[in-house]
Amino acid sequence: MKPDWAGDDLLSRLVNAAIGFKPLYALMKVGAKHVLQSTAEQNGVPWRATVRQLQNTPEIQEIRAELENPKVEYPDYYVQPFHAYEEGNLNWLAAFEVESATYSMALRTFPDQGLSPAQAQQRLRDGIHGALRDFQRRHSARALEDAVDIGCSAGVSSRFLAAEFPNAQVIGVDLSPHFLAVAEWRERTEPRPGRRRVRYRHAPMEATSLASGCADVVAASFVIHECRPGAIRALIAEARRLLRPCGVLLLADNNPRSKTIQNLPPALFTLMKSTEPWSDEYYQMDIEEAMREAGFLGVETAEADHRHRAVLGLAPS
């Protein structure tokens, strides 16, 4: 079941028409950024200070040159304006703001509970990793030694995954060399004792060029609502290739069936739709079915929290 504000319903078409009107769209983009930034700063996320710090760290630009794979070809959908950035994810401002946006998103998930940004983020990840552990236990899935974090962005999800499974080797994959440079810089300058170092790779999720059968878990958190359906199917097929027998695919994202998502205030869903061009398609796509079609077994959906789901499936043995 999709929310009324997605798909072909009247409400959805009205919102889409408003977004299609360019001067209004320009205002919406500014509004979306303002909501994110002010929620973050009111709740203790140092949004602008972080941007300034990262802007004054030339080493990050050098790391980008090290990590960037010049042979990578960017799909069309990736080079469009996104999240209110004209160049989508391929720019420094997006890279310097994305961690703050991730912490802000967690705070908005658990509002009015007096949580710090770190506590809210931990709770968000606990919900996802709890669903993964429960699925692994019930399906006697493989112990987690190697994990691939698809769409790792600036590394927040990879670092939490590595902390949850401290003996695992986590590889973060993303298409933005700017985001990866921030992730790698954090890894170099803020080493976390007690867990293995995350490695980062610049590649499309559709064709990571990692070895077949290299992973016990392939995770993609908050990635698929940003991708067109064909790309989601390609990600699922690539995950199937990467997973060892009885390995687990975990797709965590907004839950179209959750009351919170269904009842989002109009201002919020309009802002969301105005900055995430593929969200309509995401809310209508049957992700479980796509995983079954790709050969995954025991496919099921767990509620990670009141607005996010974890869709899980097992690679055949």
Ligand X SMILES: C[S@@+](CC[C@H](N)C(=O)[O-])C[C@H]1O[C@@H](n2cnc3c(N)ncnc32)[C@H](O)[C@@H]1O
144 closest CA partner among 38, 232, 216, 69: 216
Whole-number minimum distance, CB 260 to ligand X, in Å? 18
Told to check if 3 binds ligand X by CB under 6 A, we report no
User: What are the counts of helices (DSSP H) followed by strands (DSSP E) for the chain?
Assistant: 13, 7
Residues between 177 and 216 that touch ligand X (CB under 6 A):
179, 204-206
Rounded to whole angstroms, how far apart are CA atoms 171 and 168?
10
Told to check if 169 binds ligand X by CB under 6 A, we report no
Rounded to whole angstroms, how far apart are CA atoms 277 and 87?
14
Task: Let me know: does 7 contact 278? Beta carbons within 8 Å.
Answer: no
- Exactly one of 100, 136, 153, 270 binds ligand X (CB under 6 A); that residue is 153
Whole-number minimum distance, CB 219 to ligand X, in Å? 8
Segment interacting with ligand X (CB under 6 A) among 145-153, 181-189, 270-278, 293-301: 145-153
Closest to ligand X by CB, 27 or 79:
79
Told to check if 50 binds ligand X by CB under 6 A, we report no
DSSP letters, 187-232, are HHHS--TTSPPPEEEE--TT---PPTT-EEEEEEES-GGGS-HHHH
Whole-number minimum distance, CB 70 to ligand X, in Å? 16
Closest to ligand X by CB, 18 or 206:
206
Q: Which tokens go with 134? A: 């429960």
Cα dihedral angle (35, 38, 41, 43), rounded to 10 degrees?
-70
Whole-number minimum distance, CB 234 to ligand X, in Å? 8
Told to check if 175 binds ligand X by CB under 6 A, we report yes
- Exactly one of 115, 132, 147, 223 binds ligand X (CB under 6 A); that residue is 223
Whole-number minimum distance, CB 17 to ligand X, in Å? 26
Told to check if 269 binds ligand X by CB under 6 A, we report no
Told to check if 226 binds ligand X by CB under 6 A, we report yes
Q: Are strands 308-314 and 297-303 parallel, antiparallel or unpaired?
A: antiparallel
Whole-number minimum distance, CB 313 to ligand X, in Å? 18
Closest to ligand X by CB, 135 or 222:
222
C-alpha to C-alpha distances, 56 to 48, 52, 61, 92, 138, nearest whole angstrom? 12, 6, 10, 12, 48
Rounded to whole angstroms, how far apart are CA atoms 258 and 309?
9
Q: How many C-beta atoms lie closer than 10 Å to residue 5's C-beta?
A: 24
Task: Let me know: does 202 contact 155? Beta carbons within 8 Å.
Answer: no
> Site map for ligand X, 97-136, x if CB under 6 A?
-----x----------------------------------
Contact positions toward ligand X, by CB under 6 A? Answer: 75, 78, 89, 102, 151-153, 156-157, 174-176, 179, 204-206, 221-223, 226-227, 231
